[in-house]
Amino acid sequence: MSNIREVARLAGVSVATVSRTLSHPEMVSEATQKRVMKAVDQVNYQPNMLARNFRSARSYSLVVLVPDIANPFFALVIRSIERQAQKKGYSVLLGDTQDSSEREQDYIRLVETRLADGILQLRPISDQFHAGSKFSFPYLHVCSTESTDGPCVRVDNAKAFEQMTAYLISLGHQRIGLITGREENPHTVDRMKGFQKALADGGLPFDTNLVASGDYSIWSGVNAANALCQSGIQPTAIACMNDEMAIGAIQALKAQGLRVPEDVSVTGFDDISYARYCDPPLTTIAQPADLMGTLAVDMLLQQLNGESLPCQEKVLPYEFIVRQSTAPAAQ
């Protein structure tokens, strides 16, 4: 309501002095500062950030693009992004794209129109991002993949999934089912690579009949698991590309009267909270969600401030967690 002019008048100084007192106190004498601050309190002055941002041509906010905020893994990453951003004086604009490139485009426009200073992309949809075409604005991929161009922070999805698959093979499993996400999804691509590599290394054939596709939702896990069971070739283990599909799969298997892990082993990816509390607790890969978020913000802000990034790509360690959803193959 009150503006800088009013404060200046009340304190008997110029607006410039008020501005300086608030932004660069070291340039103002203590006596004047006191007078200004008193006036500020008197009228309960709050600087108009809309004006300040406009003037400095910065919005001090970041867009975080996420396919679905209701996905607990993404929620974890976002939580840490928000925390770090706030700490650095930035706000985060939530962009739930629902895997719609149109919505994604709308949010890109937000930074083109200066309403945001940069974009944190948790999962790309648009060809623009796919193609890795350079944007004119600061952006960064989080939890992204090998093939991604541009700066990113991620884990080695291929390696992690390879390790998981190798583990199943080491347990004696020969017919390993796979429940994937949508195939154009970068995560899907990388994890698939790891799956196939482990199979090859283990001397096992890659049988497309053992692959069922989902979309990373619980429900799709249920469907995919059912499809796998009805395919005739009963797998003794099912590797899922995320925890939610694994949870769905377990439920479907149980509904069919199969026991997990005695009859079928099931594995997930992400280590969401429920992975630990489902029955049986899930063998999975833990991604360092907190670290990813924090690092992502830091790296984006570096770009924003014109500092060159020390490295374009930050690959973080993951953790392989064995719980009770996996067991030796029953032969």
Partner DNA sequence: TTGTATGCGTTATCAG
Partner DNA sequence: CTGATAACGCATACAA
Type of residue found at 232: G
- x-or-dash string of contact with a second copy, 235-254, rule CB under 8 A: ---------x--xx--x--x
Q: Alpha-carbon distance 224 to 58, whole Å? A: 47
Q: Is 108 in the site for DNA (CB under 7 A)?
A: no
Say how many Å lie between the first and final Cα of the chain, rounded: 76
Q: Is 151 in the site for a second copy (CB under 8 A)?
A: no
What residues numbered 193-212 form the site for DNA, per CB under 7 A? Answer: none
Please give the sequence-ordered ranges of beta strands (E in DSSP) within 83-162, or none if there are none. 91-96, 118-121, 139-142, 152-155
Among the listed ranges 14-22, 149-157, 211-219, 288-296, the one in contact with DNA (CB under 7 A) is: 14-22
DSSP character string of 22-88:
HH-GGGS-HHHHHHHHHHHHHTT----HHHHHHHHT---EEEEEES-TTSHHHHHHHHHHHHHHHHT
Nearer to DNA, 23 or 133 (CB): 23
Structure tokens at 76: 């974890």
Judge if the upstream peptide bond of residue 72 is cis by omega within 30 degrees of 0.
no
Q: Alpha-carbon distance 97 to 23, whole Å? A: 37
- x-or-dash string of contact with DNA, 31-50, rule CB under 7 A: xx--------------xx--
Among the listed ranges 6-14, 164-172, 197-205, 278-286, the one in contact with DNA (CB under 7 A) is: 6-14
Q: To the nearest whole angstrom, how small is the minimum distance from the Cβ of residue 307 to DNA?
A: 19
Which of DNA, a second copy, none has residue 42 at its interface (CB below 5 to 8 Å by kind)? none
Q: Is residue 296 a contact partner of residue 66, using CB atoms and an 8 Å limit?
A: no
Q: Residue 313: enclosing H or E segment and its boundaries?
A: strand 313-316
Which of a second copy, DNA, none has residue 138 at its interface (CB below 5 to 8 Å by kind)? none
Residue 194 CB contacts under 8 Å (≥ 6 apart), including other chains: 157, 158, 159, 160, 161, 162, 163, 164, 165
Question: Which position among 16, 27, 49, 200 is part of the footprint of a second copy (CB under 8 A)?
Answer: 49
> Which residues of the shown chain bind a second copy in the complex (CB under 8 A)?
46-51, 53-54, 57, 59, 61, 64, 68-70, 72, 75-76, 78-79, 82-83, 86, 91-96, 98, 103, 106, 109-110, 112-115, 218, 244, 247-248, 251, 254, 273-274, 277-279
> Which residues of the shown chain bind DNA in the complex (CB under 7 A)?
3-5, 12-17, 19-20, 22-24, 27-29, 31-32, 47-48, 51-52, 54-57
